[in-house]
Amino acid sequence: MSWPRSQLLEIGDQTWCPSWLHQHEQFSLTRLWNLKVPGWSRGSLATQACSVVEEHLQDLSSYTILDICAGAGGPTPVLESEINKKLESEGKKPVQFILSDLYPHHEEWSRISKKQQNVTYIENRVDARAAPRFAAKGMKECRIFNICFHHFADEDAAGILKNNIESADAFM
Ligand SMILES: C[S@@+](CC[C@H](N)C(=O)[O-])C[C@H]1O[C@@H](n2cnc3c(N)ncnc32)[C@H](O)[C@@H]1O
């Protein structure tokens, strides 16, 4: 490409950004994932994300899905309920979802995991650039990067992809 990559700054990435504002930003994004505009969108963006996961991962029950920059949950609660409803109707094991983030949103995550038993979360900060494997033994791990890759500088992005290839089985 002849045009250099330009990277805009996001307020939530600034060290001075107060945590209440960061959490508000994360929460607003989750609301957008679930927004339905009658007559314009087919379902929400979160329901469209379900089709992407179902289309690209075979044998879903063998995966743990790690939402590695989860914010306030993004599309994951909808992914869990829609995907597992279908798996259950086929007599298959549910997929386990794990939320993690460099800035964990404990309040939202705890609310989600109380309502949805297949969603758990990592309490400590997890940096996507050096994430360990979280899937239980014998399970495959797929990491999902929902609207977060623009946060990473080129070298970090390369490191994250390398880490994925080395420690996970799939990413999207
Ligand atoms: C644009 S938000 C997306 C949140 C969520 N995935 C969604 O779709 O609503 C980006 C998220 O990436 C997180 N983040 C930024 N740098 C990170 C890093 N190095 N490791 C893990 N998470 C990071 C931020 O805290 C923020 O929650």
Instruction: Give residue 83's pLDDT.
Output: 97
Q: Which of 102, 124, 126 to mutate to test the pocket of ligand 1 (most atoms within 8 A of CB)?
A: 102
pLDDT (0 to 100) of residue 1? 58
Asked if residue 117 belongs to a domain, the reply is yes
Domain-located, residue 5? no
> Residue 101: which domain range?
18-171
Q: Is the pTM of this model over 0.85?
A: yes
Instruction: Quote the CA–CA distance of 71 and 104 in Å, as a whole number.
Output: 7
pLDDT value of position 11:
82
Whether residue 3 is contained in a domain is answered as no
Does residue 55 sit within a domain? yes
Residue 7 lies in a domain: no
The answer to the question of residue 132 being in a domain is: yes
Q: Which residues lie closer than 8 Å to 102 by C-beta, 6 or more apart?
A: 69, 125, 126, 127, 128
| One pLDDT digit (tens) per residue for the chain, 172 residues | 577 766 667 788 888 999 999 899 999 999 999 998 888 777 899 999 999 999 999 999 999 999 999 999 999 999 999 999 999 999 999 999 999 999 999 999 999 999 999 999 999 999 998 899 999 999 999 999 998 888 888 888 998 999 899 999 999 9
- Alpha helix locations (H) across 90-153? 106-115
Would residue 166 count as lying in a domain? Answer: yes
The upper half-sphere exposure of residue 132, i.e. CA atoms within 13 Å in the direction of its Cβ, equals 5
Instruction: Give kind and range of the element (H or E) at residue 119.
Output: strand 119-121
Is 9 part of any domain? no
133 lines ligand 1 (CB under 6 A): no
Domain count along the chain = 1
| Distance (Å, whole) CA 29 – CA 35 | 10
With CA atoms as reference, report the closest residue to 125 among 142, 109, 144: 109
CATH number, domain with residue 29: 3.40.50.150
**Helical segments of the chain, H only:** 19-33, 45-56, 76-89, 106-115, 154-167
Ligand 1 and 69: CB distance under 6 A: yes
- CA atoms of 112 and 91, how far apart (whole Å): 24
| The two structure tokens encoding residue 132 | 């360990």
Q: Quick check: CB of 79 below 6 Å from ligand 1?
A: no
Ligand 1 pocket: which of 30, 69, 97, 109 to mutate (most atoms within 8 A of CB):
69
